[in-house]
Amino acid sequence: MGDLCKSSMMFFSDQHLCFADILPPPEVRARIEVAVLNFLKILNSPTPAISDLSLIDRRSSNSKVSRGLLTDVSWIFLSHSFCTRSLMRANTAKAFIRVWKVMEMCYQVLVQEKRLTQRELFYKLLCGSPDYFTSQLQVNRTIQDVVALLRCSRYSLGIMASSRGAIAGRLLLQEPNQEVVDCSACGSSGYAISGDLNLLEKLVMKTDARYIIVVEKHAIFQRLAEDCVYNQIPSILITAKGYPDIATRFLLHRISRTFPDLPIFGLVDWNPAGLAILCTFKFGSIGMGLEAYRYACNVKWLGVRKHDLELVPEQSFIPLKPRDLQIAKSLASSEILPDNYKEELAVMVESGKRAEIEALYFHGYDFLGRYIAKKIVQANYI
Task: Note if 123 is an active site residue.
Answer: yes
Give which of 183, 163, 165 is closest to 173, Cα–Cα: 183
Q: β-pairing, 159-160 with 116-117? A: parallel
**Helix spans in the chain (H):** 2-8, 10-13, 25-43, 93-111, 118-128, 136-150, 197-202, 218-226, 229-232, 246-258, 272-283, 322-332, 339-351, 367-377
Q: β-pairing, 74-78 with 63-67? A: antiparallel
Q: β-pairing, 211-215 with 235-239? A: parallel
Question: Burial code of 295-310, b = ≥16 C-beta within 10 A, e = fewer?
Answer: bbbbbbbbbbbeebbe
First CA to last CA distance, the chain: 53
Amino acid at 279: C
Phi, psi of 44 (to 5 degrees): -100, 10
Phi, psi of 267 (to 5 degrees): -120, 110
Catalytic residue among 107, 123, 371, 381: 123
Cβ atoms < 10 Å from Cβ of 188: 16
Helix (H) or strand (E) holding 302: strand 299-303
Give which of 232, 240, 288, 247 is closest to 267, Cα–Cα: 240
Phi, psi of 171 (to 5 degrees): -145, 130
Catalytically annotated residues: 123
